[in-house]
Amino acid sequence: MNSPPASPAGPLLLLVDDEFDVLSAYSMLFEYHGYRVLTANNGAEALAAAAIERPDLVLSDLMMPVMDGGRLCKAWRDDAQLRNIPFILTSAGMIKEPALPYDSFFKKPVRFEVLLAEIERLIAPKGE
Amino acid sequence: MNTTRIPLLHTGVPGLDHILGGGFPAHSLYLIEGLAGSGKTTLACQIGFEHARQGKKVLILTLIAETHNKMLNHLSNFSFFDESLVGDRIKFLGAYSELLRGGLRPLQKLIAATLAEQRPDIMIIDGFRTVREAAPSDMSLSEFMLSLNSLVSTMECTTFLLSPTEGNVADSENTLVDGLIELSQYERGLQLIREIKVFKLRGSKHMLGRHVFEVGSDGVAIYPRLEAINSAAGAEPPQTPFRVGFGIDGWDLLTNGGVISGSTTALLGNPGVGKTLMALHFIYDGLKRGETCLIVGFHESPTRLLEKARSVDIDLQPHLDSGKLQVIWNPPLEVLVDGLAQQVLHNIEQRKVVRLMVDGIDALREIILHAHRTRSFLVALVNELRRRNVTTFFTQELPYFAHGTARPEASESMLFENIILMRYVDVGGVNRRQIGVLKLRESTYDAANHVLLISNQGMSIEGPASFQRAQPL
């Protein structure tokens, strides 16, 4: 049980949240499921991290300081290098801004299994 | 905002859900603290076994605590223990080696991996104080607590941390959990009293203050403080009052048919003057009318009470046999008053009791643990009886030799709608029983004192006590 079924080259997730404990909990759980994890505390940090290493999927909170998840989502789609990377947005509240270009949205609290299944679906090779 | 309400986790521990306001908000992190022997492992495992029985998965993670074998041995003494659940729905895992090897981070990863792999509904971490001792700084402990809280919330696992500490200090173990519950114990003479207190419970309207509990063969049983229950209770149900007789012909006549239904009556009197007999007449009158009755006694055993009744031609045995009458008898020794109140109120509800005799209120006062509680407890008890429309007679002892009537308590008048005084008076060197009304709610009555006779045919009223130079003893 102490050895998670991870492969060293598992898919890379970029987790974006301003809450330390959320990042910490998700990191440990996704790592257990074989993912590699990058973390960022806001949208600006997420873009900077993605410029260094291209993730396979972004899981971002909506309400954050500096650059929120909505602005990050738009910036993501405006970036030719990133626009095809799946983007999941989560929030404790409802989204006020219409037509944000995310792939999936989940209202918190979201069951981890649901999130995991959606991530697996979004990063699965097309045609599977 | 469409906010999802957190479901409540019902504990199955008698009385606990009541003080929690319905149960623990699920998927949250709780600290149950209490010094060694306070019952925290028993309480947490009792909750665990209850849920395992319902098909839930329970994980018991131990740090420095009892060995799993010892813990299982101790738990096997309780009726909630079910060996068939262990290993299947209840798993025991040791986690101390992770802490020993690398501190908090490896422990945190182990917990995350365990939650991800086992998907438990409930997790119990025993020996949690070890985590504080292993933390290099308060900040790292706070980070650990925050992450753990987030982890159990994400994995929807209601988690109980058990720690041998007391009080509500500003440590992160206390502040960064969703609920803090303390089990404590103290000695009262040679008696050990256990108490539970909910310091905080986010998302729940819990009962404040301390409540007593017992650890018996069925595990933990909590008796919520009656005053707290009564404060939370609703208004009295609407009633159409009617007269309830004393069961003594002459006296019913003088009191215009007796007392109001659902009222409380104090029978005050010197020892041996006939208070218990009078209350037995009241009970017998109800039984003859087919009413369900209850006697709560402290001094005279049910056998002695039956003999006493028989001596005045009152045969209670058939009514005991039929179940129309029950006796709850507890010598006023190591009785938990809230437990007794719960038993009485439960009996009243289950059996739809309409007449109650409490013999006597002095013993009830003796078993109320905290002296300052006496008044509020009795007020709460009387309110609960009124809410259930139970007509109640309390006997209350007066001193052997005293000229006064009752103890000078202002609360007495609030407790009892009706007060009947029975006493001996010396008439020309002969002690005679005298009865009079001090107070009778919503009723006209003959204010004169009357002579009370007791024969093997029961109690009767002779006439007004117009003795010359009669002196109360």
Distances (CA, A) of B268 to B260, B276, B381, B433, B472: 18, 10, 19, 13, 14
DSSP state of B389: T
Nearest chain B CA: its distance from A118 CA (Å): 16
Give me the pLDDT at residue B370, please. Answer: 80
The residues facing A57 across adjacent strands are A13
CA dihedral B343, B348, B353, B357 (to 10 degrees): 40
Give me the pLDDT at residue B237, please. Answer: 60
Query: Chain B: residue nearest A109 by CA?
Result: B154
Distances (CA, A) of B113 to A29, A30, B105, B147: 7, 10, 12, 14
Q: Please judge whether B153 and A109 are an interchain contact, meaning their C-beta atoms are less than 8 angstroms apart.
A: yes
Which CATH number among 2.170.260.10, 3.40.109.10, 3.40.50.300, 3.10.20.90 corresponds to the domain B8-224?
Answer: 3.40.50.300
Q: Please judge whether A25 and B156 are an interchain contact, meaning their C-beta atoms are less than 8 angstroms apart.
A: no
Which residues does chain A have within 8 Å of residue B118's beta carbon, measured at their own beta carbons? 1
Domain boundaries of chain B, sorted by first residue? 8-224, 243-472
The model's confidence at residue B217, banded by pLDDT at 50, 70 and 90, is very high
Give me the pLDDT at residue B282, please. Answer: 97
Chain B residues in contact with chain A using a Cβ-Cβ cutoff of 8 Å:
1-2, 4, 27, 98, 108-110, 112-118, 143, 146-147, 149-151, 153-156
Which residues does chain A have within 8 Å of residue B146's beta carbon, measured at their own beta carbons? 20-21, 24
Q: Does B243-472 match B8-224 at the fold level?
A: yes
Q: What is the mean pLDDT of residues B95-117?
A: 89
Percent of chain B with pLDDT over 90: 63
Nearest chain B CA: its distance from A51 CA (Å): 28
Q: What is the ipTM of this complex?
A: 0.78
Tokens of B40: 């925290």
For the stretch B416-464, pLDDT in tens is 999 999 988 887 788 889 999 998 887 777 778 899 999 999 999 987 8
Chain pair A-B, CB pairs under 8 angstroms: 69
Nearest chain A CA: its distance from B120 CA (Å): 13
**Model confidence at B473: pLDDT above 60:** no
Q: Please judge whether A21 and B150 are an interchain contact, meaning their C-beta atoms are less than 8 angstroms apart.
A: yes
The architecture of the domain spanning B243-472 is 3-Layer(aba) Sandwich (3.40)
Which residues does chain A have within 8 Å of residue B100's beta carbon, measured at their own beta carbons? none
- At residue B363, the 3 state secondary structure works out as helix
Nearest chain A CA: its distance from B155 CA (Å): 6
Q: What is the mean pLDDT of residues B1-9?
A: 71
Query: Chain A: residue nearest B144 by CA?
Result: A21
Query: Chain A: residue nearest B151 by CA?
Result: A25
Q: In this structure, are strands B191-201 and B210-216 parallel, antiparallel, or unpaired?
A: antiparallel
Query: Chain A: residue nearest B154 by CA?
Result: A112
Give the pTM. 0.84
Tokens of B8: 């409540």
Nearest chain A CA: its distance from B129 CA (Å): 21
Q: Which of B96, B147, B175 is best to mutate for the A interface (most A CBs within 10 A)?
A: B147
Beta carbons of B108 and B139 less than 8 angstroms apart: no
Tell the CATH topology of A12-123: Rossmann fold (3.40.50)
The model's confidence at residue B1, banded by pLDDT at 50, 70 and 90, is very low
Which residues does chain B have within 8 Å of residue A31's beta carbon, measured at their own beta carbons? 109, 112
**Model confidence at B4: pLDDT above 70:** no
CA dihedral B467, B468, B472, B473 (to 10 degrees): -100
Spatial strand order in the sheet of B122-126: B90-94, B58-62, B122-126, B158-163, B29-33, B179-188, B191-201, B210-216, B219-223
Which residues does chain A have within 8 Å of residue B147's beta carbon, measured at their own beta carbons? 20-21, 24-25, 28
Q: Please judge whether B150 and A22 are an interchain contact, meaning their C-beta atoms are less than 8 angstroms apart.
A: yes
Q: Please judge whether B116 and A32 are an interchain contact, meaning their C-beta atoms are less than 8 angstroms apart.
A: yes
Nearest chain A CA: its distance from B418 CA (Å): 58
Nearest chain A CA: its distance from B1 CA (Å): 7
Of A21, A94, A107, the CB nearest to B149: A21
Query: Chain B: residue nearest A22 by CA?
Result: B150
Q: Please judge whether A4 and B113 are an interchain contact, meaning their C-beta atoms are less than 8 angstroms apart.
A: yes
**Model confidence at B225: pLDDT above 80:** yes
Query: Chain B: residue nearest A113 by CA?
Result: B155
Query: Chain B: residue nearest A92 by CA?
Result: B3
Which residues does chain A have within 8 Å of residue B112's beta carbon, measured at their own beta carbons? 25, 28-29, 31-32
**Model confidence at A7: pLDDT above 80:** no
Q: Mean pLDDT check: name the lowest of B113-127, B172-186, B377-391, B433-447.
A: B433-447
Q: How far apart are CA B80 and CA B466, in angstroms?
A: 66
Tokens of B94: 């040791």
Percent of chain B with pLDDT over 70: 93
Give me chain B's average pLDDT, please.
Answer: 89
Tokens of B456: 């093997």
For the stretch B57-92, pLDDT in tens is 999 999 877 788 888 999 999 999 999 999 889 999
B184 vs A97, which has greater pLDDT? B184
Based on the number of CB atoms within 10 Å of its own CB, is B466 exposed (0-12), middle (13-18) or buried (19 or more)? Answer: exposed
DSSP state of B86: B
Nearest chain A CA: its distance from B70 CA (Å): 24
Of B2, B108, B156, the CB nearest to A111: B156
**Model confidence at A3: pLDDT above 50:** no
Residues in contact with B50: Cβ distance below 8 Å, sequence separation at least 6, in sequence order: B11, B12, B13, B80
